[in-house]
Amino acid sequence: MPVKIRLQRHGSKKRPFYFIVVADARSPRDGKFIQKLGTYNPLTVPATIQVDRQRALEWLHKGAQPTDTVRRILSFKGVLYLKHLLRGVDLGLFDQATAMEKFTKWSAEHDVQIKKRQEEAQRNRRARRPMPGRRPERKAENGS
């Protein structure tokens, strides 16, 4: 039975919200699934992603194939990097402690970048919003 990690759409028209699920490849997009791994909300800036890393990693080790979008999401959250590091441990390139150290270092740097993006988005939102209590200035009329 081919198993895929994919998105399952929820939300109303033009307001998408997705569950990240493990499902049989033959089941319909919003149909039956095996396990729910997390959520993805593309409407927030930046997009809100919540994934259970351990369960996603287990399914990847079992051979589940992520779709292109889910592959990008898992890469963004570090699941694919963690899988890559654990493969290096299995091959004997380095030990488990070194792999976890590398992952925590990457995770810390990644969290700083995400925080920076969130702050920048908030600043842009505030800059676009008109000041409360102030009326917009009118252009001066010529000839009056």
pLDDT of residue 126: 86
DSSP result, 4-41: EEEEEEESSTT--EEEEEEEETTS-TTS--SEEEEEEE
Give CA–CA dist 27/113, Å, rounded: 37
Q: What value does the CA radius of gyration of the chain take, rounded to a whole number of Å?
A: 22
Domains of the chain: 3-128 (3.30.1320.10)
Is the per-residue pLDDT at 144 higher than 60? Answer: no
The residue type found at 129 is R
Kindly report, residue by residue over 85-140, the tens digit of the pLDDT: 999 999 999 899 999 999 999 999 999 999 998 899 889 888 887 767 666 666 66
Kindly report, residue by residue over 57-85, the tens digit of the pLDDT: 999 999 999 999 999 999 999 999 999 99
- What's the pTM value of the predicted model, to 2 decimals? 0.82
Reduce the DSSP state of residue 65 to 3 states and report it.
strand
Give CA–CA dist 87/57, Å, rounded: 12
